[in-house]
Amino acid sequence: MKYFTQNWYREMQVNGFLTFPDSKEDWEESLNWKNEDGTSYIEILQADLEWRKEDLLTFLPAPFHPYILDGSLKTEYPSKELREMAEEWNENYLSRRQIIRKQYMEQFEEIQEKLPSQVLEIHTKSLHDGEVLSFSASESTITLIIAGTGVGWYGTNVKLTFSNVEKYSIPEQLEGSWWLYNEIYKTETGFELHVLFDYPLSELMIRARELKIETQ
């Protein structure tokens, strides 16, 4: 994938994590909250920070690192300095994300009239958050069945049949993964589809001449 890569997605999660309470009152109110199993709000924040530590250290600049390493990034009420750093980084990130989205859409608009109608449907009827129920591949055909009940466009499962497949790269663990974002490109003989999946985070690529979409 050229635009919506694994690193692009990982950085998006950092952006979603790097938020703080609006006020000291909100923070103190949250401290009184506990999960049903008795886990405290601080314990939940500590576990979440530990789980994301590698990505936080990768995508956030050095001034954030002491807060990440000592665990205080989210487990203490943020100082004015930390809040300002976070706001600046988030604004920069959102600007970069908008540029990436714009760049992809510009290249897609140049090719969309040359794509088969069912390939276009992947773009117009997003399969975002659809779970891969099954996958099969033969010499020149690949079939994916996606649970479409939770994606907004389909009320049932969706079967994607790629025929005259010229090249492909399939994640080791595809069944059970969740469709996140896709990119579509025009080739001399057909099209090339790239999909970013989660659970686990992985990428799929299929270059084919034809696509058939059916609901089940």
Whether the pLDDT of residue 152 is over 80: the answer is: no
The CA distance from 91 to 159, in Å, is: 39
187: DSSP letter: -
* Residue 190 pLDDT: 97
Q: pLDDT tens across 74-126, in order?
A: 999 999 999 999 999 999 999 999 999 999 999 999 999 999 999 999 999 99
Whether the pLDDT of residue 151 is over 80: the answer is: no
Residue 189 exposed, middle or buried by CB count within 10 Å (0-12, 13-18, 19+): exposed
| Global confidence as pTM | 0.93
